[in-house]
Structure 1
């Protein structure tokens, strides 16, 4: 049995402007509703994955990635597999958007709260997602999930703890993590 986790392609809105806290919030909204940039395509496509049961996060960039990679709509689209939160804190300075992401994620992982999913809740959701993927392989066989960098990383951990063997991993855009049981 195989579970393949594919990170979405680079979003069309993945630019890096200098923004304040309000601008950062707007940047996140654009990022979350973005499709994949026309210049972002997978280097290699494994045609075997077209035969796998296909799942996607409900965020546009993941669904669009499935369509680009497999030329089909996923059989299952589920918000359970969305990216872990990109936290938003009202801090009194300007940074490049991606520096906001790194700083905010660090604060989030250290336990700073806001009006979004906590890091602890996100890890619990990843554990539930891993359990669901295992159950789906029992019913559907091999599967491929089009998801997100952080979420795929935290889904991978409980899969390994439950006996799945990591065969390859990549967190890059279009990165493929393959696990076997």
Structure 2
């Protein structure tokens, strides 16, 4: 392990911006020309009801709404980006991703929505019509999709992972060119982007988990 990277990220901690009157801190890039950096952010909380018991049609409606709504405006914005620090803020083409980016960074940046960075697809399993908790519908539907049972008319898990690998390669190419790259995307996609970037030699220096507005930073020596 390169000791210089530890020094760099120790300095990064000192560069965190503390919001006046709050204990929260904002995460940002490190000023170090010897490394390239990629920040992955998950979208904010979608503005729709996410609990209750529903039947299959109610679950299908929820899935459609989830892919069409904006996010709830958060009280605290956890990411700090300096003006001109990145050439483009990459997002997916889904509203919850692009709206999150605009809420976080405002109008002073260029935004580049890309279909490649949409969330892994899902569909409601259709072999029962019981009323179930929404979370159970989403969990079972995703689990069946992963094992290949629930993927009719949508992207398969294998193809989704291939797309994530291609996304990681794209981010690496942009980082090699621009030094700092930021993507506002989705939970499952970001999980696999991190995995593939680590496989490509990146080090996961900040792992923010998978919650709403969570962020992670990966770095690699030039």
What TM-score, normalized by structure 2, do the two folds share?
A: 0.76
> Distance between the aligned counterparts of 1:160 and 1:180, measured in 2?
9
> Distance between the aligned counterparts of 1:146 and 1:34, measured in 2?
16
Offset, 1:86: 2.4
Which range moves more in the overlay, 85-94 or 28-37? 85-94
Q: Which ranges of structure 1 fall in alignment gaps of 5 or more residues?
A: none
Using a 3 Å threshold, how does the CA distance of structure 1 residues 29 and 10 change in structure 2: closer, same or farther? same
Which range moves more in the overlay, 170-179 or 50-59? 50-59
Give the RMSD, CA atoms, in angstroms.
1.6
SS of residue in 2 equivalent to 1:2: strand
Offset, 1:78: 0.4
Rg: which structure is higher?
Answer: 2
Indicate the structure with greater helix content: 1
Aligned to 1:134: 172
Report if the CA contact (8 A) 2:77-2:104 is conserved.
Answer: no
How many residue pairs match? The answer is 180
Bigger relative CO (Cα 8 Å, ≥ 6 apart): 1
Matched, 1:15 2:53: no
* Residue deviations 1:31-72 (CA, integer Å, cap 9, x gap): 10010113x354523234862231000100100110111113
Q: Which ranges of structure 2 fall in alignment gaps of 5 or more residues?
A: 1-35
What TM-score, normalized by structure 1, do the two folds share?
A: 0.92
* Residue deviations 1:60-119 (CA, integer Å, cap 9, x gap): 010011011111364311010001012221122121212111111111111113221111
